[in-house]
């Protein structure tokens, strides 16, 4: 009988221990939190397409070549597009062959909506000289867009008295959030 009582006591004690452990595991709920966060920065992208359209090759003095390039733009913020002559005759937009130059008054541009067009904003409708000292406006008031194009038409009037030479300039386009 003593063994039976001892066995019964051992079973009851084991059962109570298991029940106690299980009640601790299924007791009051605990929580943890996560607070995801992200800072989205201005993301803008610019690429120039159709640059070969303004590589006119051999042209005679007195000719008037034109050509249109496309500025491909993607931006998650409002933007403006500018251009500056960054090489050529110093401090101007003039094309140079290191000995001679084509006057800045002969080298101009206009800009319009390309395809697909920017959803908003405006180009430069009046022919504008490229500037070697300052950035000049190509498109203002552009809104966030995943893909649009601005068409920039170059207009070069080669004077009839222009000396022969290989004339070059470099224009740097800048896309900035506004």
> Could you tell me the pLDDT band of residue 57, with boundaries at 50, 70 and 90?
very high
| pLDDT the model gives residue 95 | 79
Dihedral sign for Cα 95, 127, 119, 142, please: positive
Instruction: Return the minimum-mean-pLDDT range out of 10-14, 46-50, 72-76, 101-105.
Output: 10-14
| pLDDT the model gives residue 66 | 96
Residue 112 has a CB neighbour count (10 Å cut-off) of 15
Omega prior to 161 cis, within 30 of 0? no
| pLDDT the model gives residue 98 | 80
- The dihedral region occupied by 165, where left means phi > 0, alpha psi between -120 and 50, and beta the remainder, is left
Return mean pLDDT, the chain.
Answer: 86
Give 127-149 pLDDT, tens digit per residue: 998 887 889 999 999 999 999 99
| pLDDT the model gives residue 105 | 86
Residue 24: pLDDT above 90? no
Phi, psi of 53 (to 5 degrees): -65, -15
* Stronger pLDDT, 23 or 30, i.e. the higher one: 30
> Is the pTM value of this prediction over 0.85?
no
Cα distance between residue 152 and residue 71, in whole Å: 8
Cα 86 to Cα 89, 109, 113, 171, distances in angstroms: 9, 16, 24, 6
* Stronger pLDDT, 165 or 8, i.e. the higher one: 165
Cα distance between residue 96 and residue 160, in whole Å: 16
| pLDDT the model gives residue 147 | 94
Q: Mention every residue, 6+ apart, whose C-beta is less than 8 A from residue 98.
A: none
> Could you tell me the pLDDT band of residue 80, with boundaries at 50, 70 and 90?
very high
| pLDDT the model gives residue 14 | 58
Under CATH, what is the fold of the domain 48-177?
Immunoglobulin-like (2.60.40)
């Amino acid at each position: 009988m003593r063994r039976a009582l001892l066995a019964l006591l051992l079973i009851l004690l084991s059962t109570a221990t298991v029940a106690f452990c299980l009640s601790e595991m299924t007791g009051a709920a605990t929580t943890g939190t996560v607070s995801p966060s992200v800072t989205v920065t201005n993301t803008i992208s610019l690429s120039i397409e159709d640059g070969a359209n303004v590589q006119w090759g051999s042209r005679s003095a007195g000719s008037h070549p034109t050509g249109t390039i496309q500025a491909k733009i993607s931006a998650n913020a409002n933007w403006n597009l500018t251009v500056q002559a960054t090489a050529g005759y110093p401090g101007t937009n003039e094309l140079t062959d290191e000995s001679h130059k084509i006057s800045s008054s002969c080298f101009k541009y206009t800009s319009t909506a390309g395809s697909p067009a920017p959803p908003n904003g405006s180009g430069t409708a009046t022919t504008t000289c490229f500037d070697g000292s300052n950035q000049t406006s190509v498109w203002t008031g552009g809104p966030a867009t995943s893909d649009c194009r601005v068409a920039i038409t170059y207009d070069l009037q080669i004077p009839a008295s222009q000396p022969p030479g290989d004339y070059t300039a470099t224009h740097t386009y800048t896309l900035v959030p506004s």
